[in-house]
Amino acid sequence: MALGLLIVLPLVAGEQVRVGAYHFPPYVVKPERARPGGVLPELLAALNAVQSDYQFTLVPTSVTRRYRDLESGRFDLILFESPGWGWQNSAHVALDLHIEDAEVYVALAEPGRDQGYFEQLKGKRLALYNGYHYGFAGFNADQQFLRENFAAVLTYSHDSNLLMLMRDRADIAVITRSYLQNYQRRHPERSKALLVSQRVDQYYQHHALFRIQSPLRPETFAALLQELNRNGRLDALLQRYHLVVPEPLLND
């Protein structure tokens, strides 16, 4: 029996905590892949490395299915969300992560075109990310509403929307700021052709949303993030993806 315990005990990896993830760059890139990319997979790997009470695993979902997947218990929590992004009728507990991002307007830089170009969206062709909630549309993500009221073309890729600008198939794209900054770093030659708005469509005030019966409580998760940040690993991760921490992370 003692030998059996020696064999079994190392296999115990802590309580399983399932974290929902849909394709939302730069936060999550292709969660269905064996090695997904983005902020979230790196964050979960770091959390698993610094403690053994909980084992965080990624559960792929979709931008439209995530609401019922949380309520049904398919996963226990979802990160980098906002309670205002369609969660109003879903039972959950929210934890403010004190991590900010934003969405900005992007157009081609042309002679005579300045910031005034972004003051009026009506009459312009908008390239949008399908399933996203936009401030200019009152956070209504309905495809038909966006097409009828804003001449919107909906895709599943920020890169596709930026390419539509380059090919004159759209006038304005609305892009997540952190993604745009990574894109400009990767493609400096293309960034010169872009005019980025000083006007912000919306600010992200990122939250973690927990299902009511989650095995991990928000206050416990906050403590784990605090522990991860004591050696600077969390702050370094967020900075690498151009995410803003406007105040000490998760202040008590």
CATH number of the domain that 118 lies in? Answer: 3.40.190.10
In this structure, are residues 226 and 80 in contact, taking their beta carbons and an 8 Å threshold?
Answer: no
Would residue 252 count as lying in a domain? no
Bridge partners for 49 per DSSP: none
Would residue 225 count as lying in a domain? yes
In this structure, are residues 243 and 99 in contact, taking their beta carbons and an 8 Å threshold?
Answer: yes
**Total tally of structural domains belonging to the chain:** 2
Burial of 75-104, coded b for 16+ CB within 10 Å and e otherwise, reads bbbbbbbbeebbbeeeebeebebbbbbbbb
> At residue 27, what are phi and psi to the nearest 5 degrees?
-75, -45
Would residue 246 count as lying in a domain? no
43-79 pLDDT tens trace: 999 999 999 999 999 999 999 899 999 999 999 999 9
Q: Do residues 24 and 90 both lie within one domain?
A: yes
Q: Do residues 93 and 107 both lie within one domain?
A: no
Tell me the average pLDDT of the chain: 90
Cβ burial, residue 39 (10 Å; 0-12/13-18/19+): buried
User: Is the pTM of the predicted complex or chain greater than 0.75?
Assistant: yes
Would residue 124 count as lying in a domain? yes
72-131 pLDDT tens trace: 999 999 999 999 898 988 999 999 998 999 999 999 999 999 999 999 998 999 999 998
- The answer to whether residue 14 scores a pLDDT higher than 70 is yes
Of 97, 52, 86, the closest CA to residue 238 belongs to 97
163-197 pLDDT tens trace: 999 999 999 999 999 999 999 999 998 888 999 99
Q: Which domain holds residue 74?
A: 14-100+204-240
